[in-house]
């Protein structure tokens, strides 16, 4: 029996080799594989027909009963005698009158009657089942009037129709239900087992036969692709917000950085204005104090003393800043020297070859020979002496040490940057303190001059000027603060938006990855389907090629073989040594060519299915009126040769053939392998 389950293992192996699949992705794909629609492993081995009774069914007016007893049977009789009606009653007995299918049962009730009746007795795994089905028009159409009555191991008593069964019960009995639940029509599926001359290419022309055959053959991966596509559409389809997030995030982050710079600049500007404002207010208060005092000279001296104290305080601060700057520069110098030593380390190694060699090994302290010294220069081996090294001289290293040194180096560089930034800030602070000292010394000089002159006119002018400066600085401080508040508020909103967009972008990136991952998974599964279908097609081509040997005189007498047109379907072409090749997809359903192609293909499919464990249990092949499309008899010999040998080719199937008793039919050819029944 051909084994098809190993394709799941091959798919899993391929998932593990492609970089796009993470461990979680692989688990998700394996889950899709494990949840696929498993091929139906039927618990029944065969479904065959014991007998059929039909009454008022199409051309059968009176009740007709044919005992098949699971034998291969040829039903012969004149045209219009009801042979086709009888085999159609077999199909109706199993399937009912399914509507909205390409193959339908039209006008089933015999003209002049209102109700038809069928009773089928079916052998299923050694047990007999009686299926009764009737259909009445009653002026309301046929809808829901064909429900079956199913009886297991009937005892011959009349059955009660008080409570009928459902079609699902019959479909489950004959193994069709798992496929019918996948929305394959019963009549379409059964056309594989029922070759009707009125629709010779019924099964071959069925658009869904490729998917149906894949399932029958154990190639049940089509639903995996459908499930993957559904998951991509439902779970991993990005929303509009997620799709726009990457571009919007880029814009928002740029705006956030702009605002952070603006806010920092505004804060510095605000602090500068406030500092200058406080200084002017102090000056103004001092001047007003001088002007309001009764003892002008004492006030000037008091101001002089205050300025001296302020100058001393600022100079002390300046000394502290200079000391801090000196310490910072010392730290910076040490870090820079350490960094430099690492940068010139490769150069030091290059100088190793020209350095003077020690008499004793610097590692183990043993004497160094000339040979060992040469080895140091040539190979850089360590230890030099190749002797046992004292334990206290050995230093153990690891990859962790190397990683720690890398981290150390990164931290050192970050510390250098911090110290350089601190150096710049300290230099700025010192310059500011020196400027303040200089300003105060100028004020002190002015006070000292005023003490000498004891004239307060300049104080009054200075007060007026300071009052104007204070007013201007207060307005400027207010304006800067308002602008700063607005920028900080906008910055907070932008930061919240950035966080929101980052989450959306993460979702978009995750879904985009999942989309790409599942598309790759579908590609892998599709390739596996094509590969496995190609193997199946090779086996079918071999079977069909052997079956072509029956065609020796007619249309396909010069056939050289069969080939399937692509790995995507079961369309095929019969190749001929002379004349045009015959593809199965040409519009020839009403010709003998179409009938013979269907006969060849369906026989090969049934024969191949017979080799599979647990395949569809129906073991029935009905061929209705094989000569009806060939009035000139050109292919009658080949059809007879093929159909008469079907019981040998399909040894586990019950073959039922209807033949009109005309000059075309050679009934003697069927005697060896069929039981004949006259109609």
Q: Give the model confidence (pLDDT) of 493-538 as tens digits.
A: 999 999 999 999 999 999 999 999 999 999 999 888 888 899 999 9
Confidence at 461, pLDDT banded by 50, 70, 90: confident
Q: Report the alpha-carbon angle 322-324-327, nearest 5.
A: 110
Q: Residue 374 pLDDT more than 70?
A: no
- Does 355 score more than 50 pLDDT? no
Looking at the whole model, is its pTM more than 0.75? no
DSSP assignment, residue 360? B
- Beta strand segments in 306-440, E: none
Q: What is the mean pLDDT of the chain?
A: 85
> Could you give the CA distance from residue 657 to residue 97 in angstroms, rounded to a whole number?
22
Across 365-374, 381-390, 391-400, least confident range: 391-400
- On the CB side of 365, CA atoms within 13 Å amount to 5
**Residue 395 pLDDT level (bands cut at 50, 70, 90):** very low
| Residue 191 three-state SS | coil
The confidence score (pLDDT) of residue 80 equals 85
Local confidence band at 397 (pLDDT 50, 70, 90 cut-offs): very low
| 331-340, 387-396, 523-532, 668-677: segment of lowest average pLDDT | 387-396
Say if residue 296 is exposed, middle or buried (CB neighbours under 10 Å; 0-12, 13-18, 19+).
Answer: middle
**CA-to-CA distance for 211 and 308, rounded, in angstroms?**
101
The length of the chain in residues reads 679
Q: Which percentage of the chain shows pLDDT scores above 90? A: 48
Give the per-residue pLDDT at 288: 83
CA angle centred on 637, ends 631 and 639, rounded to 5°: 80
pLDDT value at residue 354: 45
Backbone angles phi, psi at 612, to 5 degrees: -95, 135
Residues β-bridged to residue 133: 118
pLDDT reading at 471 higher than 90: yes
Residue 342, pLDDT above cutoff 90: no
For residue 613, name the pLDDT band (cuts at 50, 70, 90).
confident
Q: Is 544 helix (H, G, I), strand (E, B) or coil?
A: helix
Packed helices 399-453 and 457-547: angle between N→C axes, nearest 10 degrees: 160
pLDDT for 398:
47
Q: State how far Cα 649 lies from the chain centre.
A: 45
Of the candidates 604, 602, 658, 654, the residue with the CA atom closest to the CA atom of residue 627 = 658
When computed from its CA atoms, the radius of gyration of the chain, rounded to whole angstroms, is 50
Average pLDDT over residues 632-644: 88
Better-predicted residue by pLDDT, 188 or 373: 188
- Cβ-proximal residues to 320 (8 Å cutoff; 6+ apart), any chain: none
Mean pLDDT of 169-193: 91
Q: Which residue has the tokens 């093929």?
A: 642
Confidence of residue 615 (pLDDT cuts 50, 70, 90): confident
Is residue 308 within a helix (H) or strand (E), and if so which, with residue range? helix 296-343
């Amino acid at each position: 029996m051909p084994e098809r389950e190993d394709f799941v293992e091959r798919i899993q192996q391929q998932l593990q080799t492609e970089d796009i699949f993470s461990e979680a992705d692989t688990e998700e794909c394996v889950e899709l594989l494990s949840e696929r629609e498993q091929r139906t492993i039927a618990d029944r081995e065969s479904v065959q027909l014991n007998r059929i009774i039909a009454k008022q069914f199409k051309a059968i007016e009176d009740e007709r009963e044919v005992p098949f007893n699971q034998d291969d049977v040829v039903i012969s009789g004149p045209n219009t005698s009801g042979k086709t009606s009888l085999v159609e009653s077999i199909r109706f007995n199993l399937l009912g009158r399914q509507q909205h299918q390409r193959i339908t049962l039209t006008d089933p009730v015999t003209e002049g009657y209102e109700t038809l009746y069928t009773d089928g007795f079916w052998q299923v795994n050694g047990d007999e089942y009686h299926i009764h089905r009737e259909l009445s028009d009653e002026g309301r159409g046929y809808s829901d009037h064909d429900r079956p009555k199913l009886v297991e191991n009937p005892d011959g008593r009349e059955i009660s129709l008080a409570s009928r069964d459902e079609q699902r019960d019959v479909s489950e009995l004959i193994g069709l239900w798992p496929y019918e639940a996948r929305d394959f029509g019963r009549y379409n599926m059964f056309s594989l087992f029922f070759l009707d001359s009125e629709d010779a290419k019924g099964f071959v022309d069925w658009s869904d036969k490729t998917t149906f055959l894949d399932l029958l053959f154990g190639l049940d991966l089509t639903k995996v692709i459908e499930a993957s596509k559904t998951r991509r559409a439902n779970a991993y389809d990005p929303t509009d917000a997620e799709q726009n997030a990457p571009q919007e995030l880029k814009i928002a982050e740029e705006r956030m950085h702009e605002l952070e710079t603006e806010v920092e600049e505004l804060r510095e500007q605000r602090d500068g204005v406030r500092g200058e404002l406080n200084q002017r207010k102090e000056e103004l208060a001092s001047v007003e104090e001088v002007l309001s005092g009764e003892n002008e000279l004492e006030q000037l001296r008091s101001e002089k003393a205050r300025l001296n104290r302020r100058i001393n305080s600022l100079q002390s601060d300046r000394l502290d800043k200079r000391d801090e700057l000196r310490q910072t520069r010392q730290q910076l110098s040490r870090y820079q020297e350490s960094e430099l030593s690492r940068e010139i380390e490769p150069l030091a190694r290059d100088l190793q070859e020209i350095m003077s060699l020690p008499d004793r090994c610097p590692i183990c302290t043993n004497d160094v020979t000339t040979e060992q010294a040469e080895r140091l220069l040539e190979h850089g081996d360590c230890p030099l002496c190749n002797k046992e090294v004292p334990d206290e001289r050995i230093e153990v290293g690891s990859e962790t040490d190397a990683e720690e040194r890398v981290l150390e180096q990164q931290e050192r560089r970050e510390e250098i940057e911090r110290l350089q930034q601190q150096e710049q800030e300290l230099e700025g602070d010192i310059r500011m303190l020196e400027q303040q000292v200089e300003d105060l010394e100028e004020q002190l000089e002015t006070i000292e001059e005023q003490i000498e002159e004891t004239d307060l006119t300049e104080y009054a002018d200075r007060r007026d000027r300071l009052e104007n400066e204070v007013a201007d600085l207060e307005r400027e401080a207010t304006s800067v603060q308002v602008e700063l508040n607005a920028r900080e508020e906008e910055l907070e909103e932008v930061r919240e938006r950035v966080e929101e967009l980052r989450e959306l972008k993460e979702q978009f990136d995750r879904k985009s990855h999942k989309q790409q991952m599942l598309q790759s998974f579908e590609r892998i599964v599709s390739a596996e389907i094509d590969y496995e279908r190609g193997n199946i097609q090779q086996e079918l081509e071999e079977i069909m090629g052997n079956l072509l040997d029956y065609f020796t005189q007619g249309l396909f007498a010069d056939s050289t073989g069969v080939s399937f047109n692509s790995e995507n379907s079961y369309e095929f072409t019969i190749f001929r040594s002379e004349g045009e090749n015959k593809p199965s997809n040409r519009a020839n359903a009403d010709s003998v060519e179409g009938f013979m192609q269907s006969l060849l293909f369906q026989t090969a499919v049934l024969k191949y299915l017979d080799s599979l464990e647990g395949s569809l249990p129906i073991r029935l092949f009905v061929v209705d009126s094989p000569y009806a499309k060939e009035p000139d008899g050109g292919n009658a010999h080949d059809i007879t040769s093929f159909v008469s040998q079907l019981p040998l080719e399909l040894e586990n199937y019950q073959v039922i053939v209807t033949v009109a008793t005309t000059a075309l039919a050679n009934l003697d050819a069927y005697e060896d392998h069929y039981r004949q029944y006259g109609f």
